Structures are given as structure tokens and as C-alpha cells.
Amino acid sequence: MTDSTLILRGLRRLEDARGLDGAADVLRRASAAVTAARPARDILQGRPLGHPVHAALAMAPVGAWMSSALLSRDGHGPAARTLLRFALLSAPVVGLAGVADVGRLDHARRRVAAVHVASNVVAGTLGATALVRSRAGDQPARLLSWAGLGALMAGGFLGGHLSSRLGPPPPPTAGEDRPLGLLVSVEEPDSVP
């Protein structure tokens, strides 16, 4: 049995975990609320770009947190704290775009999304605690910051699984301009191969 088979089996177990149905339903309702207005839905789901934006936005806090963790090893406390603050402050915007995408997932994948969200909440809690436990101008509490980064990476792995299943936002309806970045499909009669 290969590692990828074990990983896929674990992801399938999450998708089948009925114990996550309550959390998955909360996410579905939150997604419906966030995407109730079409302009907000289109922007948060990346429709003008023809590509979901949540994964691209997620690179900002992940990169900042990783940089913070690396700088904290070399004693660059103020820079590490600033980067960790940026990661924590940018996370709600990233989360909002993710919640907007949840409505496009089937029920099984919303269960995985619930664990993805929980992992990111744990990461944020650990990161915020790392900042509070450190003194002003000092490096963030290293162990808490690294543990938070680990939770963030675990959530990112689950998010990668979800995005690989999600696909691009729906194409524009007839009469709308093609969004920037949306390639012509070979299935369209007037497409150019």
C-alpha cells in the first residue's frame, strides 16, 4: 500500500464521516449568506478572473507565516512578529473567499471543508497565542508559532484536496463578456483549438 493510497483513503474517510454533518451544514448556510448577493458571490468566487481566488489569496498568510517561522530561528523578533501579525490579519479575507466556495462543494466535500476550517482556526489560535506570549519586540513564542504553522499546512493540504475537486467558477451566461483569464473551451462550437 503506497502513501498516496493511505492519504486518499484518509480523505475518503473524512468525506464519509457523518459526524461532521453538523459543521458541514453550518458552512453551507454561511456560504449561502456570503454569496446571497451576486456581486459579492462573483468576486469572492473569482468569476471575473475565471478562476477561484481562495487558493491564491491563501498564499499570503501561508508565506508570511512561513517567513515568520524562519526568521524567528535567526533572532529577527520584530520582523517575525510583523509577518505573523500580517498572516493572522489577512486570514479572515482568505476565509471569506473560502466560505464562498463551500456552496459549490457536494455534501461529502463540505465535511472535508469543515476539518479544513477547524485546522485553520487552530492555526490562528496558536499564532495569536504565540504573539501574546512573546514580549513586544521579541520573537513570537517559537513552539506555538511552529505548531500553528503545522496546523496551517495541514489545513492547506485539505484545501488542496478540495480545490482539486472544485474546478473553476461557472462560465458566464449568454450575453456576458468572457471573464479575463477564462480560456476558450474546446467544447464550444466557435472555439479555436
- Per-residue pLDDT tens for 105-158? 888 889 999 999 999 999 999 999 999 988 765 667 888 999 999 999 999 999
The grid cell for 126 is: 496558536
Give the rounded percent of residues in the chain with a pLDDT score beyond 90. Answer: 48
Helix (H, G, I), strand (E, B) or coil at 110: helix
pLDDT of residue 77: 82
- Kindly compute the dihedral angle of the four CA atoms of residues 86, 54, 127, 152, in this order, to the nearest 10 degrees: -140
Choose among 161, 162, 172, 163: nearest CA to 42. 172
Per DSSP, 183 falls in state P
Residue 50: count other Cβ atoms within 10 Å of its Cβ: 16
For range 170-178, the mean pLDDT: 46
Q: In the structure grid, which three cell numbers stand for residue 69, read together?
A: 517561522
CB 62 within 8 A of CB 156: yes
Residues 6+ apart with CB under 8 A from 53: 44, 45, 46, 97
In 3D space, the residue among 174, 193, 160, 170 whose CA is nearest the CA of residue 49 turns out to be 170
Most confident by average pLDDT, 17-21, 35-39, 71-75, 161-165: 17-21
Say if residue 177's pLDDT is above 70.
no
Name the nearest CA neighbour of 57 among 47, 45, 67.
45
Cα–Cα separations (whole angstroms), residue 41 to 47, 101, 112, 120: 8, 9, 21, 22
- Write down the pLDDT at residue 153: 96
Angle subtended at Cα 90 by Cα 20 and Cα 52, rounded to the nearest 5 degrees:
65
Q: Tell me, what's the pLDDT at 166?
A: 59
| Cα dihedral 71, 77, 79, 82 in deg (nearest 10) | 120
pTM of the model: 0.80
- 22-39 per-position pLDDT tens digit: 999 999 999 999 999 988
Inter-residue contact 179 to 50 (CB < 8 Å): yes
Of 8-12, 47-51, 57-61, the poorest mean pLDDT is in: 47-51
pLDDT tens digits, 67-109: 999 988 777 888 989 999 999 999 999 999 999 988 888 888 8
Domain boundaries, the chain: 19-165
